[in-house]
């Protein structure tokens, strides 16, 4: 057991140091690469903590998509005027240390073993329509949170479209040139689609589900975007908006149905629970994938094509 503890101690030590490296590195590109490394090392910690679901989502979304997003900002990041004249590093350090000290004191004061809600979750598992407890919590017990979370995703999509409308930036996209990314996408994209399908199906009785599948699918899509195989569909296109909103609207439909019969919001009938959850998850995968792809609108791709392209070429 001491070997396990040794690994835990090592990981527990490495993570904050790596985090400090990410935040303190002067060069933005290096910081982003370190950020992705931090995400991958963290995946080990999630494994040690027996949290496979989180490991999957953190790796796919927390590190993959976020990393790609941050990397796409590098070309124009330097031209931004800083937020405030003098960075209050010392004040922030004092504040952070104080906060960490208080929170540490509270964590140490927590009782050694906390039962949590495991007994309750496992007790009601048969009625929930799925075997995997995390999926049961996500899509049955606390499905209201998930519904609001999907709406948050849609809000982000609207916000991005409002802030960076994709007018005619798509015209300036270069034609698909042969590039390493192009070749790579031939190999990886089919695999991504397969993995996504598998994750959705597995979600019912093992770590998996809509978020992981959506993220993997989006990863494939992002590859195609950067390889110019996939032209970003403008948000104005009704088809895209239809596909995007199919998930949330179906979810809302399932939520409201019991209300009509005097039942409660999101009360899944026991017999149909499994099927409904699977249906919702499948449609949500499409929604999540589209929204994650929308985080890379045409304007971002257009300007990041020319490596030396600074922001001088007018928007």
Partner 1 sequence: MTEPAWVAGVVVIPLVGALIAVLAGRRAAPIAVVTAVGAAVAAAALVRQIARDGVVEHAVGGWAAPLGIALRADGLSALFVAAVAVVGTAAIVYALAHPGTPHRFHAAWLLGWAGLAALAVSADAFNLYVALELLTLAGATLVALASEAAALRAALRYILLALAGSLAYLFGVVLLYAAHATLELSALGAAVTPGPVTAVAIAAMVAGLALKSALFPLHGWLPPAYAGAPAASAVVLAGLLGKASFLVLVRLWFEVVPPSLRPDAGLLLGVLGAAGALWGAVLALRQTRLRRLLAYSSVGQLGYLFLVFPLGTGPALAGAVYLVLAHAAAKAALFMAAGSIERACGSDELGALRGLAPRMPLTFLTIGLAGLTLMGLPPSGGFVAKWLLLGASLETGQWWWAIVLVVGGFLAAAYVFRVLRLAFLPAAGAAAIARAPRGAELPALALALVSLGLGLAAAPPLALLGAGP
Partner 2 sequence: MSAWQLYALSGLAWFGVGMWGLFAHAHWVRKILAVNVAGSGLFLVLAALARRATTPAPDPVPHALVLTGIVVGISATALALSVARRLAEVEATARLDEDATHEPAAPPAGADARAGGDAAPPPAGGGAPP
Residues found near partner 1 in the complex (CB under 8 A)? 83, 102-103, 105-107, 109-111, 114-117, 120-121, 124, 140-145, 147-149, 151-152, 154-156, 158-159, 161-163, 236, 238, 241-242, 244-245, 248-249, 252, 255-256, 258-259, 262-268
Radius of gyration from C-alpha coordinates of the chain: 22
Contact partners, residue 55, CB within 8 Å, separation at least 6:
43, 46, 47
Binding segment for partner 2 (CB under 8 A), chosen from 128-136, 237-245, 253-261, 268-276, is 128-136
User: What's the token pair of residue 71?
Assistant: 């990397």
Residue 233 phi, psi (nearest 5): -75, 130
- The item of partner 2, partner 1, none sharing an interface with residue 151, based on CB under 5 to 8 Å by kind, is partner 1
Q: What is the footprint of partner 2 within residues 57-116 (CB under 8 A)?
A: 57-58, 61-62, 65-66, 69-70, 73, 76-77, 79-89, 91-93, 95-97, 99-100, 103-104, 107-108, 110-116
Whole-number minimum distance, CB 260 to partner 2, in Å?
27
103-109-112 Cα angle (round to 5): 125
Does 6 engage in binding with partner 2 (CB under 8 A)?
Answer: no
Helix (H, G, I), strand (E, B) or coil at 295: coil
Nearer residue to partner 2 within complex by CB, 107 or 187: 107
Instruction: Tell me the angle at which helices 210-226 and 273-294 cross, rounded to the nearest 10 degrees.
Output: 30
User: Which of 258, 249, 58 is CA-nearest to residue 150?
Assistant: 249
Measured in residues, the chain has a length of 315
Stretch 24-53 residues interacting with partner 2 (CB under 8 A):
24, 28, 31-32, 35, 38-39, 42, 45-46, 48-51, 53
| Minimum distance from residue 182 beta carbon to partner 1 (Å) | 33
Interhelix angle 180-202/210-226, rounded to 10 degrees, is 170
Site string for partner 2, 197-226 (x = CB under 8 A): --------------x---------------
Among 36, 146, 224, 268, binds partner 2 (CB under 8 A): 146
Q: How far apart are CA 279 and CA 268, in angstroms?
A: 12
Q: Which does 61 bind (CB under 5 to 8 A by kind): partner 1, partner 2, none?
A: partner 2
If one asks whether residue 5 binds partner 2 (CB under 8 A), the answer comes out as yes
**Helices (DSSP H) in 72-173: which residue ranges?**
74-77, 89-108, 118-123, 125-128, 133-136, 143-163
User: How would you label 265-299 residue by residue, b for 16+ Cβ within 10 Å and e otherwise?
Assistant: ebbbeeeebbebbbebbbbbbbbbbbbbbbbbbbb
CB 137 to partner 1: min, Å: 8
**Three-state SS for 7?**
helix
Q: Minimal distance in Å, beta carbon 186 to partner 1?
A: 34
Interface residues for partner 2 in 224-243 (CB under 8 A)? 236
């Amino acid at each position: 057991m001491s070997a396990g503890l040794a690994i835990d101690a090592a990981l527990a030590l490495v993570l904050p140091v790596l985090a400090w490296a990410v935040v303190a590195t002067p060069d933005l590109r290096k910081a982003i690469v370190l950020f992705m490394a931090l995400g991958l090392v963290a995946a080990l910690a999630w494994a040690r903590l027996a949290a496979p679901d989180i490991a999957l989502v953190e790796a796919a979304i927390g590190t993959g998509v976020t990393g790609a997003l941050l990397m796409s900002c590098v070309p124009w990041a330097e031209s931004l005027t800083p937020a405030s004249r003098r960075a209050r590093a010392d004040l922030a350090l004092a504040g952070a240390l104080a906060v960490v000290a208080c929170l540490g004191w509270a964590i140490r004061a927590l009782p050694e073993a906390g039962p949590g809600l495991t007994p309750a979750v496992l007790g009601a598992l048969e009625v929930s329509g799925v075997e995997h407890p995390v999926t049961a919590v996500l899509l049955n017990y606390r499905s209201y949170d998930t519904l609001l979370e999907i709406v948050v995703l849609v809000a982000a999509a609207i916000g991005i479209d409002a802030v960076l409308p994709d007018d005619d930036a798509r015209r300036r996209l270069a034609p698909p040139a042969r590039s390493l990314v192009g070749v790579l996408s031939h190999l990886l994209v089919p695999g991504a689609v397969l993995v996504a399908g598998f994750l959705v199906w597995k979600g019912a009785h093992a770590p998996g589900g809509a978020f992981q599948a959506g993220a993997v699918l989006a990863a494939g899509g992002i590859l195609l975007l950067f390889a110019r195989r996939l032209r970003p569909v403008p948000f104005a296109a009704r088809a895209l908006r239809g596909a995007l909103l199919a998930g949330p609207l179906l979810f809302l439909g399932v939520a409201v149905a019991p209300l009509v019969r005097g039942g409660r919001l999101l009360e899944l009938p026991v017999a149909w629970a499994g099927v409904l959850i699977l249906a919702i998850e499948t449609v949500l995968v499409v929604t999540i994938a589209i929204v994650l792809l929308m985080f890379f609108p045409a304007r971002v791709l257009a300007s990041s094509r020319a490596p030396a392209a600074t922001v001088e070429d007018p928007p």
